[in-house]
Amino acid sequence: MFIIKSIEKVVFRTKQTVRCFSSIDSSKENPVVTVKQGKLKGAVKQCLDGSPYYSFKGIRYGQPPVGELRFKAPLPVKPWDGIRDATEHGPVCPQFDMSIIDLVEGNEDCLSLNVYTKSLQPSSKIPVMVYIHGGAFMSGSGNAETYGPEYFFQHDVIVVTVNYRLEVLGFLCLDTPEVPGNAGLKDQVLALRWVKENISKFGGDPDNVTIFGESAGGACITYHMLSPMSQGLFHKAIAQSGVCLSYWAIAHKPAERAFRFGKALGKDTKDVNELLQHLRSVPALELARLGMKSRTQDEKFRGLPIYSTPTVEKKFEGQEQFLTEDPVDLLLAGKVSKVPLLIGYNSAEGILILNDHTKKLEIFNKDPSYLVPREIATTVSKEKIDEFGQRIKQFYFGGKDATKKDAQAITDLQTDINFSYQTHRFLQFFQNVAPTFLYSFDYTTDLNIVKNVSGFDDVKGACHADDLFYLFHSAMSGNYLEGNDELKKIVYQITKFWADFAKTGNPTPTKGGIDWRPYTSATKEYLLLNQDMKLSNNLDKARVDFWNKIYADAGHPSIAKSSL
């Protein structure tokens, strides 16, 4: 979700020194593929073992969402004549890029995707893995500098990565027919429709598509499982470190916040049409990081600073809605894709938030009610919030004021509030629907890029986003594998779990090794992904039980309807 500031230095340094395995083989002609909309010219590149693969970047799947189309659902790309170049990435969405801690102008015309494949024969029927990037719904892209496909090519799959609209451009909601919300998720739906329609031209099997994503991308994956717009577009799902039940993944009073966006831009109005016209008129980059400028006083200290997010849409005649009911209601009613699910989180996600938390220790110690999650704090009395804050302080810190020496306890708290507990809730609601596999990612090696630059090396476990460097070849991690057979084995195994799941719906389909069994409410089995690699039960049980009681005592609707 976030990439902390010290990574900026790592990105700069490694981009100067990394020797990319994916150099273009100039001895071969650029391949040309004909999709439904026209012809595309790609490039031939090299896998880690030197074998070739085909790269098609910057493929337009939607029309430019500009002018009157800004904030609206995307329209399919129009057919073209001639051959379009697909050797370079398309523009990224205008954004505040958290990897470099700066604004990136990009271009609103950013609806493109990338396809990487080892075969261009339609008869190949290769399983397809479509990756939705994270970045707090405000940052990131599907570019190969971060999400290179080379590790997955050890397992005979096709990798697709997607750009979609971010922050206000992608998630503004005015509760009107013109701007009902969820444009960024509808971008992803259009990309999935493009994949279904065209992936066979790249050797892919349109009837064997797995969607996967991390953090905000993981939340997107679980939203697609609930959305009627996404039904039939995928056949398996992998959600890493994020689900749609998390408070940061769903908007709270988004139309009210939209007017605060306008005020931050100098347009203080109560007229929704006047607000829309103004938001359409300002340069796209001025819409980046508006969430930070629209925070309430409470939000400055409570929860993660993520405010332009998916929302429950109002129903409007003649429109496709992505989501019109609360995700918990949909789960409890069984209105969810009945596809195999691989789901989990990193063992120390909260390391990412340690630095920010320690800066606010004085505030949290004086008023621990700020530790109460936003979705509870907005539904109970001030007295209840205070009581819950004291209970949280007692459970994680023994009732004492926290200090910087309590890094492990702070990490556990932030892991639970922001990532792990909601994963357990989604899992519990879904596990009877289809085969579901739970994991805890706990590797700590040189590939834990985020943790290794965080300054908190002494905290146990894997930080938020550390798992990405075991799945994707990137500018930040590529050199670490050279000459390191142990790391190569770990990367091979993790990507094999993911690829085998994409192929079969089971991460361990062959006998003779680990038998990763599906999660059930009776056994609560999960696989611990670390050097020990073992099956276990009741992941983080004491902490899950604590939060069950908090939510139940809060009378939270989701707990009242179905208890863990």
Q: What is the rounded CA–CA span in Å between residue 93 and residue 250?
A: 21
Predicted local confidence at residue 475, as pLDDT? 86
- CA–CA separation, 225 vs 239, rounded Å? 10
- How confident is the model at residue 287, as a pLDDT? 95
What per-residue confidence (pLDDT) applies to 97? 85
Task: Tell me the average pLDDT across 284-304.
Answer: 93
Q: What pLDDT, on a 0 to 100 scale, did the predictor assign at position 559?
A: 54
Residue appearing with tokens 């391949």: 31
pLDDT at 281 over 80: yes
50-79 mean pLDDT = 97
* Share of residues in the chain with pLDDT > 70 (%): 93
Q: Which residues contact 519 (CB under 8 A, 6 or more apart)?
A: 427, 431, 436, 437, 438, 525, 526
Q: Which of 338-342, 360-364, 554-558 has the lowest mean pLDDT?
A: 554-558
Give catalytic residue positions.
215, 349, 464
Summarised one tens digit per residue, pLDDT across range 481-491 is: 988 999 999 99
Question: What's the CA angle centered on 452, arms 240 and 410, to 5 degrees?
Answer: 70
Tens-digit pLDDT profile for residues 452-507: 999 999 999 999 999 999 999 998 887 899 889 999 999 999 999 999 999 999 99
Ordered DSSP codes for 141-157? ---HHHHB-GGGGGG--
d(CA 377, CA 430): 26
- Triad 510, 513, 514: Cα angle to 5°: 100
- Written as six digits, the tokens of 488 are 């190569």
Strand-pairing partners, residue 527, are 439, 535
Q: Look up the pTM and report it.
A: 0.94
pLDDT at 102: 87
Kindly provide the b/e burial profile for residues 131-158, where b requires at least 16 CB atoms within 10 angstroms of the residue's own CB.
bbbbbbbbbbbbbbbbbbbbbbbbbebb
Does the pLDDT of residue 364 top 60, yes or no? yes
3-state DSSP helix/strand/coil % of the chain, to nearest 5: 40, 15, 45
Which one has a higher pLDDT value, 15 or 217?
Answer: 217
Whether 244 contacts 222, CB under 8 Å: yes
Residues 520-524: contacts with CB under 8 Å, at least 24 apart? 520/431, 521/428, 521/431, 521/432, 524/438
What is the DSSP annotation of 483-542? Answer: T-HHHHHHHHHHHHHHHHHHHHS-S--STTS---PPP-TTT-EEEEESSS-EEEESTTHH
What type of residue is 113?
Answer: L
Distance CA 209, CA 199 (A): 10
Q: Report residue 49: phi and psi, to 5°.
A: -90, 5
Residue range 215-227: mean pLDDT, rounded:
98
Give me the pLDDT at residue 78, please: 97
- Per-residue pLDDT averaged across 159-184, rounded? 98
pLDDT in tens, 18-31: 233 333 333 357 99
Q: Which residues pair with 52 in a beta bridge?
A: 46
Mean pLDDT of the chain: 92
Residue 129, phi then psi, degrees to nearest 5 = -120, 115
Residues above pLDDT 90, as percent of the chain: 88
Q: Does residue 346 or residue 11 have the better pLDDT? A: 346
In a 10 Å sphere around its CB, with 0-12 CB exposed, 13-18 middle and 19+ buried, how is residue 198 labelled?
Answer: buried
pLDDT in tens, 313-333: 999 999 999 999 999 999 999
Contact 308, 290 (CB under 8 A): yes
Write the DSSP assignment of 18-53 as a string of letters.
Answer: ---S----TTSPPPEEEETTEEEE-EEEE-TTS-EE
Range with the poorest average pLDDT among 24-28, 65-69, 195-199: 24-28
**Residue type at position 44:** V
- Tens of pLDDT, residues 383-403: 999 999 999 999 999 999 999
User: Average pLDDT of 518-532?
Assistant: 96
Residue carrying structure tokens 């395995």: 21
- Span 30-62, pLDDT tens digits: 999 999 999 999 999 999 889 999 999 999 999
- Reported as a pLDDT band with limits 50, 70 and 90, residue 130 is very high
How sure is the predictor about 410, in pLDDT bands with cuts at 50, 70 and 90? very high
Helix (H) or strand (E) holding 113: strand 112-117
CA–CA separation, 59 and 114 (whole Å): 6
pLDDT at 139 over 60: yes
The torsion angles phi and psi of 176, rounded to 5 degrees, stand at -125, 160
Distances, alpha carbon 153 to alpha carbons 50, 53, 117, 157, 541, in Å = 11, 8, 8, 6, 37
Query: 360, 134, 382, 407: which is closest to 246 by C-alpha?
Result: 134
Section 264-278 average pLDDT? 96
